[in-house]
Structure 1
Amino acid sequence: MMNGGALRATMYTLVLAVAFALTGAVVASAQTAPHDPMTSMLPDAAGAVPWSVMSKTAIRKIAGRLGPDFSAQLRAYDGKVVKLQGYILPLEAGERHGRFLLSAWSPTCPFCLTAGPEAMVEVIARVPVRYSLEPVVVRGRFELLANDAGGMFFRLGEAEPATLN
């Protein structure tokens, strides 16, 4: 039989052991996480246009001027209704957005663009999309922009919130 002090010491030791075990599990899961938005581009999502394909769009001199050189794989999506997954970069303040940029990179600095035109899509939403710090999925008509005055390579029009299922 334990006295009160011994029982408290045993309970304290047990609580510490559980806390250290849980901390270790959290650290272990963080170390094995497949995506770190601070250091890597959002990985391709099944059912969405792959960022790995979009981000390989090069800038080349075409017909005497600089412009995007879209791969045949990417051209197959042009004009089609597709899904995209990415991070919202708002163009205006608000909870819901009808026009925004969608990026393969997490917005780590509120004053900086997180990627070049090869890893961002201008989204014009038919149904406004709720802002989130986590990646969102939108569905709409995908356009390749060879001569956009704003320097964008991609646009998703008639967009609405979606899921990958």
Structure 2
Amino acid sequence: MSRMNLLIKGLLIALWCITPCVAEAILTTKVDDPGIFETGIKPLQVSKGAVPWEKFAQTKSTEKEMSDLLGKYFVLLPHYSADIKALDGQVVTLMGYMFPLQEAEKQSDFLFGPFPPSCPFHYHVNPNQVVEVVTSKPIKFSYHPIRIKGRLHLTPKDPNGVFYILRQAQLDE
């Protein structure tokens, strides 16, 4: 085997080993963590009456062990702040990035958060910083931040681990 092939294989192995570390660092960094600003990663700054993402970041969670026929598993249970509880059932405006759940130009059910998507398989933020959005009419996907308005619902027992759902959402231009 040539030196070049060994070098390439070594680099690929190193890249393969470090990727989970980078993903873990992103997954465990919260929007209200002061260290997030040291990395240059900043949440979207909202304007014009949109709910700031820092309010969502106040939601804490605990891990609970569950079991079913397939064995044991863990779920995260949210503990909402008073600020977020006050928004339950209210029409709110959010500003953020879409994370599509379907392969379509227009989306009617997608995830929404303060950071642009960085992985096509899952959104690299904590569940307290992700809102599931269900629209009244499909919205064209955008890589740029958008403003949406809808009715916010807290979902403390969602089987998919979603902490919040914005229903009847539409673009707020």
TM-score, structure 1 normalization: 0.69
SS in 1 for 2:83: helix
Match of 1:123 in 2: 133
Q: Which runs of 5+ in 1 are unaligned?
A: 1-34
Query: How many residues are paired up?
Result: 125
Cα offsets for 1:103-130 (capped at 9, x unmatched): 1111122234121211110000002111
Deviation at 1:66, TM superposition (A): 5.5
Q: How much has 1:143 moved relative to structure 2? A: 0.5
Q: Which has the larger radius of gyration?
A: 1
Pairing of 1:39-58 with structure 2 (within 5 A)? 39-58=41-60
RMSD value, Cα = 2.1
- Corresponding residue for residue 102 of structure 2: 92
TM-score, structure 2 normalization: 0.66
Kindly indicate whether the alpha-carbon contact (under 8 Å) linking 1:57 and 1:68 is maintained by their aligned counterparts in 2.
yes
The percent of aligned pairs where both chains have the same amino acid is: 34
Change (3 A) 1:90 1:61: closer
Q: C-alpha distance in 2, partners of 1:72/1:61?
A: 21
Q: Name the residue aligned to 1:106.
A: 116
Output the CA distance in 2 between the equivalents of 1:128 and 1:95. 9
CA contact (8 A) 2:132 2:164 kept: yes
Q: Distance in 1 between matches of 2:63 and 2:104?
A: 39
SS at match of 2:55: helix
